[in-house]
Amino acid sequence: MPEKTIDLNVDLGEGFGNDSELLDYATSANVACGWHAGDPLTMRRVTTEAIHKGVAIGAHPSYPDRENFGRRAMDLSPDEVYADVQYQVGALAAVVAGLGGSVTHVKPHGALYNQAEEDTALACAIVHAVRDMNHKLAIVGLAGGQLVRIARDEGLDAIEEAFADRAYTPEGKLVPRSQPNALLESEAVACEQAISMVRDGRVRAVDGSWVSIRPQTLCLHGDGLHAVSFASQIRAELAKAKVAVRPLKHAGLVSSGAK
């Protein structure tokens, strides 16, 4: 039986004071680029430590919405989104290059991430912005979603993401945060869901049905009250389930559309 593998990604530089601890458990990091959280000094500090610990570095671009932590839906034109994504990714890439490292992937944040699953023009704008900037960058998106599909259609690497601490709809999408029970509050339940997704390829939806899912990376949110303890617990549970934790773009983790 082939070895089960998974990447653990964490959103960092968002001001919760646990970046250093979370980097001990993650294999890739998505760094806020200043629009929903963060600033240039924080970007440099986080990426310096990520390089030191061998953690893959990704950009985490968002809508220009610090007031709502990038979680408010916005109606921007594709041209605006294209330019906004390139601006943020370029800023992080410059910081990382100055440290002798490189950015490996781009994961949209918050409402930008979620709306890209519903709005094809928006998803295309994100993909085109990344492709035109650096076609070697991978795009991280919702497992089974249209962002990863469009990225592959455009010849980019695409990495399918799942969430241990988020509830799923029967269609395999995330339950909106505005709805009850969108977040899994129990660490035990979240760990059980993570193992089910990685080892068994399925997740139980809010209506009790099973949904097929094949994640290549799991998100460890850094903004929860128990983010560090959850990261530690999920690493331990993955080890018990004999799942190898490896960085993004490791052999076998990326499904590429590149020729």
pLDDT in tens, 209-249: 999 999 999 998 877 777 898 899 999 999 999 999 998 76
d(CA 17, CA 181): 26
Residue 5 is encoded by which pair of tokens? Answer: 């593998």
Average pLDDT for 72-88: 98
Residue 249: predicted pLDDT: 63
Looking at residue 174, the DSSP 8-state letter turns out to be B
Pairing of strands 56-60, 4-12: unpaired
User: Percentage of the chain with pLDDT > 90?
Assistant: 85
pLDDT at 155 over 60: yes
Residue 259: predicted pLDDT: 36
d(CA 205, CA 168): 5
First to last CA, the chain: 28
Residue 258: predicted pLDDT: 42
Which contacts qualify for 180-188: CB closer than 8 Å, 24 or more apart? 181/206, 187/226, 187/229, 187/230, 187/233
Residue 257: predicted pLDDT: 43
Q: Average pLDDT, whole number, for the chain?
A: 93
What domains appear along the chain, each with residue ranges and CATH number? 4-256 (3.20.20.370)
Instruction: Determine contact, residues 122/81, Cβ cutoff 8 Å.
Output: yes
pLDDT at 1 over 60: no
User: CA-CA distances (angstroms) from residue 184 to 151, 161, 175, 181, 241?
Assistant: 29, 17, 11, 7, 21
Residue 226: predicted pLDDT: 78
